[in-house]
Structure 1
Amino acid sequence: MLLDKGRENSVVWVTGPPGAGKTTLVAQYIETFTKDSIWYQLDQGDTDVATCFHYLQQAVATPKRDSSFHLPTFTPQYLSDLAVFSRSYFREIFSCLESPFAMVFDNYHEVGPQSRLHEVMQAALEEVPDHGCVIFISRTDPPAFTAKFMANSKMMLLGWNELQLTREESDAIIELRDYEFAEADKQQLYERTQGWPAGLVLMLEAMRREGTPVEIPETFTPHLVFDYLAGEIFRTLADNHQDFLLRTAILPQVTATMAVQLTDYEDAEATLDFLNSHDYLISANRGNGETVYQYHPLLRDFLLNRAQEILPRKDRLLLESRAAALLEQTGNFEDATQLCIKNSEWGELARLIREHAATMLEQGRGETLEQWLEELPREMLEQDPWLIYWLASCKSVFTLRESRRLYEQAYRIFREQGNPDLEGILSTCAGIMDTILFELDDLTLLDYWIAEVEQLLVLYPDFPTSEYGAQVTYSMYQSLGFRQPSHPEIAQWAERVYTIVYTATDPSQKLRAAIALAPTIGWTGRF
């Protein structure tokens, strides 16, 4: 077995074109040689390192592992020293895995060259213990950070040359599927497929269905072969199966229940089982719950392109609307946002952002959130103070002045509304004061906003005790401490912060209050 040669390496990079058998090879290795494993499938969203940490935590937290095991939570503060956090994070992951283990990062080609996820991976590889292995599956060659692992003989590279079928392996697949060909036909088949496993399997299937050899161009790439053969196989399916595939391909993963809700096909379970059992490049994950089906990426690309050509526009729009709702219901709101962006459904995208922005920022996923916000039409963004507020919050990690400008823009719109949004007013006030404090450049800017908060207290005397008043309470107390330490009401603001520390039920609120108290007490000397 190819990967068996790399059992002494802590890192393995498997690269090759789609359908080269990369996933099958790694899956067989894990089943044969490991006692524990984590399989993480990357996508473009993982370019935001916080997204990757968020979903890794879910991947690790399986029922068979110790329920007392907890990974550190990633927050934006760790971006300044990403390598230190990453080493600690993966050290904890590796410690909970039973040796020998493998951790797989599939579809690594989805990670852009400028992504900081490369820093995370480099730090992770430094922590791989003996009898552990990290395997990358990609369509591209290894990035620069892997060079030292190659140089130190800690990394094994399996490329297309190693993955390509030999003539003997090609013949074995033909025999395994009970085909009988003359020697010359086997040689021609091997020359046409050029050792590409998926191409061979698809050609055999097409020949079986047609009863005659399938004519294909003399020169081709694997992707073109797949498009051609997928078209031939698709054409031989019953009309209802064709329509079912076209309509369900919109979902990255699908269960029978989801398929019924999406397409109104009541026999969705039987259809999915048929397609899976007949090797139509549809995999099935039969866990403890409902079976989850996933189409091969190339098959899904083909189906999506064909659906664009065949299905009426009104049908596509209905499918996309239903798919977005299903994705949100199942917790995949990120895929739902991508559908909204694809279809320019800006109102729905804005709603998803408003509902999930706070949670995403708590998880440190501001980069992804900012990308969604910048997809919105400029006129829509500039008229909605909450969208402006969330954009300001995203930028507060790296561009404090731009963040403050946006907070101030949102504040003006909130104040000018006929029915003022108190939560929005208070939140933007807090954001403005925080950016001034974090920048530590011109603290005189705080004077105006201290006065604004005092005016708000006159207009809304109960706001410091409300849940959404807590944030402005911390910011006001710190602003007074650093800019106006002799303010006559600083003691009352300190009491409000102490009250939050002792009465808040949310641990994060307690922590934020304590963090606000410590530096301000030290600065003012009021112990």
Structure 2
Amino acid sequence: MQSVSLAGAKIQTPRFRSGLIERSELEQQLGDALTSHRMVLLVAPAGYGKTAALSRQLQRLPPGCAVAWLTADEEDDLQRLLSHLIEALEPLDPPWRLAPEAFLEQVTQGRLREAAAALLDTLEATDTPGGVIVLDDLHAVADARVFEFLDQLLEGLPRNWTLVIASRVEPPLALWRWRARREVAEFDETALSFSRKEVQDLWRHATGQDDPGQAGRLLDRTHGWAAGLCLSLEASEASAAAAPKGVWRNRRHLFDYLASEVFEDLPSELQAFLLRCSLLPELTVTRCEQISGNPRAARLLEELERRRLFVSVLDGEDLTLRLHDLFRDFLEERLRRRHPEEVPALLRLAAQGETDPVRRTLMYLRAGAWDEAQQDLADATPDMLACDEGAQVIRMIEQFPADLQARSPWLAYARGLCAWPRYQYSEVRSSMAHAAAGFDAIGRHDEAQRARAMQALATFFCGQMKECRHLGQAVRSQPMDLETETLSELLDFWYESHHGPVDGPGQHLAKVVDLLMQGGNAELWFRCMPRVNGFISRPGVSTQIRRLVDGARATLGEGHWSLQANANLMEAWLLLWQGGIAELEALFQRIEEDARWLGQPAGLRIRQLSTKVLYHVICDDRDA
């Protein structure tokens, strides 16, 4: 697995129905702004057509203009948002000068200025006459670091790029700076509201009749609010005329009234379908069939699109719809009011069909399905760690209730795994001890054995040799699966490297590689690799390091750049040991590139420099 799959629908520009009425003045202003301003800001309450206006205008940009679209949601913190942005930029083939994984690691470490500079360098070097980055629904994001990062991004944004933000509220950015420089174009609810002529055109388009009086009354009630206009046109003329005037002054009441009118007029089958499918972030035939239990999902989705029931159509081979936030919120509220007992089970169904592990785990959490959420996170953690996403795992753990975090062996085990690559051995030791005891208590023998083996390894690196030996013997006295046996052999490698016999390390490392080749995943290979080269002089160890390097490269394939970098570093040690001085220069160049690509992580940099010191000593290079 090269990376944890991200929700592709978040980075697709929504596609709306053809045949919408022309809004020439708004479209002219928005089109000019997209090609002439550093920043374009659309701020208005839900339902004012921000997404529709942007989507339509992006299709009219000059040929060759690049577009990266990202729809934010409440699950996005800065790292997750930027992960999606990297994916959105990928079709442009950006010439990254720093590995995306290293870029995200800078964010995790709080090095936002460096991360912003890396992204700006990439945008500057991207081969495009002009580019637009769209952040839609940015109001959903609560992480303050997102806005700190965007301020820094705006400060250095190349002249041929524009940042577009659509939000229900004004984002907490240094807008005064860009307003003073006249580098921001702003569109608020006044600019986005339908004019009298546009309402007349909309009425004519929807009803086939030219009735300025009815159109004027509709404008007076909705104040040009796009969602209200669309809902009103779906409601019957009689019920719309009978609505009390006071209702229209409160947009929330307006929504409640019109949504209820539209919803109650729908066929009962479509009502039930919409209520249950409102829990899905994107609507596809397969997922809607699963959560609604209705085999006519394909026909019903087509009906939703035909009725223009507040959906946007996402590009793809299969029909995929996304409910507008306003309508989805209404539907979910009604579902919880009418069928509260169904919601947990429906959220479980939604989670079971979700491919993104972050969304899936969070759906289980919303359902109160703690066991499923823990198991799902436990299953996803190794792949996420292999992709350098340990910080994301920790953030997901912190979404669980505090009392569950304190007692869960699954979450303790995941915490320990995240601490291992950072050499936080005390944290690994305590977390794995907690996990082992918890797994023992619920009869999970294999999981308890793995946790205890990791506890023993961490205890060794904490310098507690007697306790480490005792734990290792306890693990070996019970049945072991492949992972536990691999970790036990690794422990014996380390113990006998310090305490003998002299040929012990080579024998145990051979068993480690044999076991890894039987089916070790990428994360387990990575767990076993660091620092074993320190005992390369022991009998047989160099041969096994060669097998370890070759096996790791064969297992990893493309991607997993941190693991590849460690394999290259171990290769350098082998060449030093074997006297392959002539080959080292080229390899050192690759290692330097690895380090720069990954953002110069401290652990890799230290081992890289120590290897080069030995190289210069061997070459008697006194000037180095």
Name 1:439's counterpart in structure 2. Answer: none
Q: Are 1:152 and 2:181 counterparts?
A: yes
* 2:314 alignment partner, one of 266, 285, 290: 285
Name 1:442's counterpart in structure 2. Answer: none
Name 1:484's counterpart in structure 2. Answer: none
The within-5 A match list for 1:251-262 is: 251-262=280-291
TM-score w.r.t. the length of structure 2 is 0.69
* 1:11 alignment partner, one of 39, 42, 61: 39
Give the counterpart letter for 2:38 in structure 1. Answer: S
Task: Report the CA distance shift for 1:90/1:418 in structure 2 as closer, same or farther (over 3 A).
Answer: same
Contact 1:414–1:425 under 8 Å retained in 2: no
Q: Are 1:133 and 2:187 counterparts?
A: no
Q: Are 1:501 and 2:549 counterparts?
A: yes
Contact 1:254–1:293 under 8 Å retained in 2: yes
After superposition, give the CA deviation of every residue in 1:302-359 in whole Å (9 maximum; x if it has no partner): 111111222362x4444222211111xxx23322222211121011001110111233
Task: Report the CA distance shift for 1:392/1:154 in structure 2 as closer, same or farther (over 3 A).
Answer: farther
Task: Report the CA distance shift for 1:23/1:380 in structure 2 as closer, same or farther (over 3 A).
Answer: closer
The within-5 A match list for 1:167-316 is: 167-177=196-206, 178-181=208-211, 183=213, 185-208=214-237, 210=239, 212-215=241-244, 217-218=246-247, 220-287=249-316, 289-311=317-339, 313=341, 315-316=342-343
Q: Are 1:72 and 2:126 counterparts?
A: no
Q: Are 1:511 and 2:565 counterparts?
A: yes
Secondary structure of the residue that 2:249 maps to in structure 1? Answer: coil
Contact 2:278–2:328 under 8 Å retained in 1: yes
After superposition, give the CA deviation of every residue in 1:445-479 in whole Å (9 maximum; x if it has no partner): 4465996599755768466434367556555659x
d(CA) in 2 for partners of 1:201, 1:510: 55
Give unpaired runs (5+ residues) of structure 2.
Answer: 1-27, 474-487, 494-507, 570-603, 619-624
Alpha-carbon distance, 1:298 to partner: 0.9
Secondary structure of the residue that 1:241 maps to in structure 2? Answer: helix
TM-score w.r.t. the length of structure 1 is 0.80
d(CA) in 2 for partners of 1:94, 1:224: 47
Task: Report the CA distance shift for 1:272/1:419 in structure 2 as closer, same or farther (over 3 A).
Answer: closer
Secondary structure of the residue that 2:393 maps to in structure 1? Answer: helix
Aligned length in residues: 500
Q: Are 1:342 and 2:366 counterparts?
A: yes
Give the counterpart letter for 2:548 in structure 1. Answer: I
Contact 1:193–1:199 under 8 Å retained in 2: yes
Alpha-carbon distance, 1:3 to partner: 1.1
Alpha-carbon distance, 1:48 to partner: 3.8
d(CA) in 1 for partners of 2:205, 2:431: 66
Alpha-carbon distance, 1:22 to partner: 0.8
Alpha-carbon distance, 1:285 to partner: 2.2
Name 1:117's counterpart in structure 2. Answer: 146
Which range moves more in the overlay, 163-172 or 102-111?
163-172
Give the counterpart letter for 1:20 in structure 2. Answer: Y
d(CA) in 1 for partners of 2:240, 2:528: 77
CA-atom RMSD, angstroms?
A: 3.9
Alpha-carbon distance, 1:90 to partner: 4.7
Give the counterpart letter for 2:43 in structure 1. Answer: T
d(CA) in 2 for partners of 1:349, 1:473: 28
Task: Report the CA distance shift for 1:67/1:187 in structure 2 as closer, same or farther (over 3 A).
Answer: closer
After superposition, give the CA deviation of every residue in 1:364-422 in whole Å (9 maximum; x if it has no partner): 54454334323445565455544213224557899969845644634764997866755
d(CA) in 2 for partners of 1:59, 1:71: 17
Q: Are 1:391 and 2:415 counterparts?
A: yes
Q: Are 1:24 and 2:52 counterparts?
A: yes
Name 1:374's counterpart in structure 2. Answer: 398
Task: Report the CA distance shift for 1:299/1:517 in structure 2 as closer, same or farther (over 3 A).
Answer: same
The within-5 A match list for 1:401-440 is: 403=427, 406-407=430-431, 409-410=433-434, 413=437, 423-428=450-455
d(CA) in 2 for partners of 1:231, 1:432: 63
Give the counterpart letter for 1:158 in structure 2. Answer: F
Task: Report the CA distance shift for 1:402/1:303 in structure 2 as closer, same or farther (over 3 A).
Answer: farther
d(CA) in 2 for partners of 1:112, 1:402: 32
The within-5 A match list for 1:90-109 is: 90-93=120-123, 95-96=125-126, 98-109=128-139
Task: Report the CA distance shift for 1:278/1:387 in structure 2 as closer, same or farther (over 3 A).
Answer: same
Task: Report the CA distance shift for 1:33/1:209 in structure 2 as closer, same or farther (over 3 A).
Answer: farther
d(CA) in 2 for partners of 1:209, 1:72: 61
Which range moves more in the overlay, 70-79 or 22-31?
70-79
Alpha-carbon distance, 1:113 to partner: 5.1
Contact 1:189–1:200 under 8 Å retained in 2: yes
The percentage of aligned residue pairs carrying the same residue is: 20
After superposition, give the CA deviation of every residue in 1:88-118 in whole Å (9 maximum; x if it has no partner): 235435644643332211111122252x222
Name 1:354's counterpart in structure 2. Answer: 378
Task: Report the CA distance shift for 1:430/1:271 in structure 2 as closer, same or farther (over 3 A).
Answer: same
Q: Are 1:322 and 2:346 counterparts?
A: no
Name 2:190's counterpart in structure 1. Answer: 161
Which range moves more in the overlay, 142-151 or 1-10?
142-151
Task: Report the CA distance shift for 1:427/1:499 in structure 2 as closer, same or farther (over 3 A).
Answer: farther
